[in-house]
């Protein structure tokens, strides 16, 4: 049962990442990141089914709420306010993005490989995918132009970090809590304030225009 769920979770993470990579439509991206957030919120429960306790439940619920619901909604609103629904001409096109994603997956596999020895067989793919998600988020930030897409990339990366923490450092729930805090901050500050201001000041949120400060 748990294994099936776990496999499902892993698969969802993978698929959402791939979707994030090859779409240029913002609503789709927000949806993907929401699904990913939801799944990753569930992840600790699945991973530690046998020793589940109250605090874990609470954390998981908060995470699901934030990552799966609140942040995507905030993003959606900013998107509508800014009036953008497409990532036009990203630096890296969808196909190439996918290829790079494949490479990143291989990289995460390579880096996480030594973990295999110390993890149960069925759990191994969790850190691999977590790391992949981190890289994927970074890649999204790097390869997309709109501020809002960058935030999505950042959220993806956060998801990865959280998943990573959930899979590895379950003995130290403090870390997991930190992840929550971080997400709240990012959600509130970056999105709520910064995008709002950028929108007001520049009339669009294309970060290409945010490059007057150089050298």
Partner 1 sequence: MIWSVVIIPFLFGLVSLLLRNHRTLLFLLLLGGIAHFALTVWFWLYQGQWSEGAYPGTSIVFLDSLGILILTVTSFLFLMVAFYTKGYLRNHTERSSITIGCLFFFLATMSLVCVSADMGLLWVAIEGTTLASAPLIYFHKDHRSLEATWKYLLICSVGIALALMGNIFLSYAGGTYIDSLHIPDLLKNAHRFDVRWLKVAFLLLLVGYGTKMGLAPLHSWLPDAHSEAPSMVSALLSGSLLNCAFLGILRGFSILREAGLEEWGGNILILFGLSSLLMAALFLIRQTDFKRMLAYSSVEHMGILSLGAGVGGMAGTGALLHLVNHSLAKGFLFLIAGNILTIYQTKKIESVTGLIQEAPRTAFLWMAGFLAITGSPPFGLFFSEWIILKGMIESEQWVPLVIYLVALFIVFLSMARYVIPMTFPASSVPGSPSVTGGPVSPAGSGGLSVSFGGKEPLWMWAPALVLASVTLILGLFIPESILSFLTVAFSGWGGV
Partner 2 sequence: MGIPLLIGSWGVLGIGSVLLCFIRNRKVTHIVGTVTVVVSSLAILGAALWVLIGGKAEELYLSWSVPFGSFYLRIDLLSALFLLLLGIVGGVSALYSYGYFYPESTHRSLSAYWFFYFCLFGGISLVFTAWNGVLFLLAWEGMSLASFFLVLHENNKEEVRKAGWVYIIATHGGTAFLLILFALLGSDLEVWDFHAFQYPAAMGTVLFIVAFIGFGTKAGFVPLHVWLPEAHPAAPSPVSALMSGVMIKTGIYGLVRVVSWAEGKIPLSWGIICVSVGALTGVVGILHALGKKDMKEILAYSSIENIGIIGMGLGIGLYGMSRSLGIGALLGFTAALFHVINHGLLKSSLFLGAGTVLHTVHTRNIEELGGLWKKLPSTGALFGLSSLGIAGLPPLNGFVGEFLLVVAVLTICLQGNTFLDISLAILVLLSLGLIGAGSVACFTRLFGISFLGELRNRKGEYSAERAHGVEGGTFRIPLYILGGLNLLLGIGSIGLAPFVFGGVVSTLPGISYDTSLGTIKILRQTLFPLAIVGSIFLLLTFFLFMLRTWILKRRPIETSPTWDCGYILPSPRMQYSASSFSRPILRLFHRLLPFSESFRWEGNLFPETATYASTLCDLFVRTVYEPLFKGLARFATRIYGLQEGRNQVYILYIALTLIILMVLFLGGNP
**Residues making contact with partner 2 (CB under 8 A):** 91, 107, 110-111, 113-114, 135, 138-139, 141-145, 150, 207-208, 210-215
In the list partner 2, partner 1, none, the entry touching 102 (Cβ below 5 to 8 angstroms by class) is none
For residues 138 to 177, the per-residue mask of contacts with partner 1, x marking binding by CB under 8 A and - elsewhere, is x--x-----x--x---x--xx--x--xx--xx-xx-xx--
Site for partner 1 in 185-204 (CB under 8 A): 185-186, 189-190, 194, 197-198, 201-202
Provide, rounded to whole angstroms, the least separation between the CB of residue 197 and partner 1.
6
In the list partner 2, partner 1, none, the entry touching 203 (Cβ below 5 to 8 angstroms by class) is none
Provide, rounded to whole angstroms, the least separation between the CB of residue 147 and partner 2.
9
Comparing CA positions, the residue from 180, 152, 176 lying closest to residue 164 is 176
**Residue 168 tokens, joined:** 């590895």
Number of residues that bind partner 1 (CB under 8 A): 38
Residues that bind partner 1 (CB under 8 A): 111, 114, 134, 138, 141, 147, 150, 154, 157-158, 161, 164-165, 168-169, 171-172, 174-175, 178-179, 181-182, 185-186, 189-190, 194, 197-198, 201-202, 207, 210-213, 215
């Amino acid at each position: 049962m748990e294994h099936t769920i776990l496999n499902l979770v892993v698969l969802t993470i993978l698929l959402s990442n791939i979707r994030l990579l090859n779409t240029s439509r913002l609503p789709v991206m927000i949806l993907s990141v929401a699904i990913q957030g939801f799944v990753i919120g569930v992840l600790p429960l699945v991973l530690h089914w046998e020793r589940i306790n109250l605090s874990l439940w609470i954390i998981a619920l908060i995470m699901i709420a934030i990552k799966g619901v609140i942040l995507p909604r905030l993003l959606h609103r900013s998107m509508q306010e800014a009036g953008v629904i497409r990532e036009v001409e990203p630096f890296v096109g969808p196909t190439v993005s996918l290829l790079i994603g494949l490479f990143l997956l291989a990289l995460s596999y390579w880096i996480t490989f030594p973990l295999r020895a110390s993890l149960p067989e069925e759990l191994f793919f969790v850190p691999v995918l977590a790391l992949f998600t981190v890289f994927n988020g970074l890649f999204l930030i790097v390869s997309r132009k709109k501020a809002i897409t960058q935030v999505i990339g950042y959220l993806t990366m956060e998801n990865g970090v959280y998943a990573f923490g959930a899979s590895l450092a379950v003995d130290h729930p403090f870390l997991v809590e930190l992840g929550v805090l971080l997400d709240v901050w990012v959600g509130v500050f970056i999105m709520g304030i910064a995008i709002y201001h950028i929108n007001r000041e520049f009339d669009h949120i294309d970060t290409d225009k945010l490059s007057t400060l150089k050298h």
